[in-house]
Structure 1
Amino acid sequence: MYISITKQHMDTTFSQSSGDFVDYLEKENRDKVPEQQEHFFDQHNDQVSAKHIVKDIDGNTAKLRKNEPKFYSLTISPSQRELKHIGNDPAKLRQYVRETMKDYASSFYRDKPVSVDSIKYYAKIEYERTYKGFDREIKENQPFRSQIVKLEHDLAKIRSGELEGNSQAIQKTIEQLKAEAPHHVDGQMVVQGMKKQGLQTHVHIIVSRKDVTNTLSLSPGSSHKASEVILNGSLVKRGFERDQFFEKAEKTFDKLFKYERNFVESYTAHKMYNKEPYKFFAHLMALPTNEKSAAFKMMGKSGMHVPNLNIPTNQVQLALKAFKQLKRTIDVAKNASSIGI
């Protein structure tokens, strides 16, 4: 399970209104008849109009300055393994989102508990993802793509008479470069904008910065960590407990759908990998045989070579010989969201 929290864009991409972002989330509904469209939903309603959402979010910004985000965006991206476990069922995803937003609300560090009904949010399920410039596949195909683009320009000039050359030879070279590129989908070289294979279902959530009363500011931003300060002579709790939220959201999925989570899928593993990678490696190698085998299998789905399990048993020797290779494998898998850590 991968969950991200980002603040409203304040640059030229998105205006201070939520309109552009809500319109962006309607992209999969374009060219679809109403019966096939996926609707926004909230904690209690399965169908909310985009027009209502923009009006509701934009009208809930009391006392926020122009340079402050008016809303936050959460993206919930279950792994393909998790999606397969729930049958890629949108009803179950909506159920999970509603339970997870309870976890979100309870993770605000306040003197009085924040409930989900204090949160103004709207969610939308999407079923497709396309390759972006930051994806590993695009980056690794880029040298081939650059050569192809240059050759295609030359080919166009030859055909228009601006340049002399053998167009057939150039076309053959282009096809060869496409075949030699490391990443393909259905025999086609992976390029930006191409749809990703497999289950890609995920959920976008737009959350107002202010609570439903438009008086309390609720920021989950990384700069608003849980803390206590003296305000007007009193000790006041403030901030958001991110680790607590991510851990709760993971446990909610497991409990709700009786999901048996492998170590490498866990948020604990994610933190350990980032902060104490050798400890992560040692823990991985100490897993029971079946669980360890499953962990390596999940990482292997990233398309990278998985370290040979028939390596020395001495932990120090093992770590020195295999850790760098394993770390590369995990980096690739994590970037591809294939193991959900």
Structure 2
Amino acid sequence: MQTKFASPVEATNKGSSARLVNYLEKENVSSLSTENEYFFSVDRDKCNKWEVIQQIDNNAKSQKIEKNQDRFFSIIIAPSQAELAQIGNDSGKLKEFTRSAMENYASGFCNYQGESRGVESKDLVWYAKIEHERKYTSLDAEVKEGLAEKGQLKEGDQRHIHIIVSRCEGRENRYILESELKRQKQEQTAHLCPNVNNPIIFSRDAFYRATEQTFDKLFTYERKLEESYDYCNAIKNGKQQDYEKVIQRENERVPSKSRNVEKVQDFEIGY
């Protein structure tokens, strides 16, 4: 499971979401299929790109967002091929999982004392889309070793989810029309920023961990130690003591006789 906050695509997150939304339409443009992949939200399965742009952009208007602040955030959740095999070819299950993951995202926000703000997914303005293709980049080992070319499609099941979420809580009337903006100009909602430098207000580690655990619970997935976020993160970024803590937690969770820890492999920690 790879979960990350994505870097802006060909622009920044400080302006309109139109460029990102149009970028996420790329598979619809290139596909020979007559069935388009729609965006979906907390309570709807078919949302067109114009609605996404309007609602994300309008929700940020008159919210006193500074010019150097992001107006929205982009999250990517990419299950492994083993995890995708567990749920089968069912987009409904991926949507169910995404909605649960966004409950984790919403509930992860705390005040400066570290107390939960009680935010729920329905209090946010967010949209998501399932994509089916991934391409090799210059950062992939296969490209560096000459086994694949940059831009080449990756083989196998590559389904993953892109999420766009507004910086601000949704206004009481989520579907904001341009004509209503003037009336709502004084209505301010809380800014919810998953800043990596503010672990008390929002812990990305806790969000990644909760998303992984949600998948396991929803689909009864038996996750191996070396597939876990904590383990991969300790191997990639942690210190020796971080790695030892992960191993200790696993020893406490699983009896040694039933534990089958394989040799560490590359589980595509990066996206």
Q: State if a TM-score over 0.5 links the two structures.
A: yes
Gaps of 5+ in 2: 172-187
More moved, 263-272 vs 95-104: 263-272
Q: Give deviations 1:173-220, integer Å, cap 9, x for gaps.
A: xxxxxxxxxx1xxxxxx2111110111110000010111025110001
Match of 1:127 in 2: 132
Q: Give deviations 1:230-262, integer Å, cap 9, x for gaps.
A: xxxxxxxxx212222122111111111111111
Q: Retained in 2: the 8 A contact 1:96–1:256?
A: yes
Q: Retained in 1: the 8 A contact 2:227–2:267?
A: no
After TM superposition, give the deviation of residue 78 of structure 1 in Å: 0.4
Match of 2:83 in 1: 82
Match of 2:3 in 1: 3
Q: 1:289 to 1:138 in 2, by over 3 A?
A: farther
Distance 2:13 2:72 in 1: 12
After TM superposition, give the deviation of residue 49 of structure 1 in Å: 0.8
Match of 2:43 in 1: 44
Q: Retained in 2: the 8 A contact 1:40–1:124?
A: yes
Q: 1:292 to 1:40 in 2, by over 3 A?
A: same
Distance 2:238 2:72 in 1: 30
Aligned length, in residue pairs: 243
- AA aligned to 1:128 is E
After TM superposition, give the deviation of residue 140 of structure 1 in Å: 2.1
Match of 2:74 in 1: 73
Task: Give matches, 1:187-226, under 5 Å.
Answer: 190-213=148-171, 215-226=189-200
Task: Give matches, 1:181-260, under 5 Å.
Answer: 183=147, 190-213=148-171, 215-226=189-200, 239-260=201-222
Match of 1:92 in 2: 93
After TM superposition, give the deviation of residue 7 of structure 1 in Å: 5.8
Q: 1:215 to 1:119 in 2, by over 3 A?
A: same
After TM superposition, give the deviation of residue 271 of structure 1 in Å: 3.9
Q: 1:24 to 1:243 in 2, by over 3 A?
A: same
Gaps of 5+ in 1: 142-182, 184-189, 227-238, 300-329
Q: Give deviations 1:46-72, integer Å, cap 9, x for gaps.
A: 000101111111112221122211100
Q: Retained in 2: the 8 A contact 1:8–1:70?
A: no
Q: 1:334 to 1:131 in 2, by over 3 A?
A: closer
Distance 2:72 2:247 in 1: 39
Higher helix share: 1
Q: 1:138 to 1:80 in 2, by over 3 A?
A: same
Report the identity percentage.
35
Match of 1:292 in 2: 260
Distance 1:31 1:12 in 2: 22
Alignment partner of 2:145: what SS? Answer: helix
Match of 2:179 in 1: none
After TM superposition, give the deviation of residue 291 of structure 1 in Å: 4.2
Task: Give matches, 1:57-72, under 5 Å.
Answer: 57-61=56-60, 62-72=63-73
Task: Give matches, 1:314-329, under 5 Å.
Answer: none
Distance 1:264 1:245 in 2: 19
- AA aligned to 1:124 is K
Q: Retained in 2: the 8 A contact 1:8–1:69?
A: no
Distance 1:290 1:336 in 2: 29
Alignment partner of 2:21: what SS? Answer: helix
- AA aligned to 1:224 is N
Q: TM-score, normalised by structure 1?
A: 0.65
Distance 1:24 1:71 in 2: 15
Q: Point out the structure with max Rg over C-alpha.
A: 1
Distance 2:13 2:42 in 1: 26
Distance 1:82 1:204 in 2: 17
Q: 1:333 to 1:103 in 2, by over 3 A?
A: closer
Distance 1:26 1:70 in 2: 20
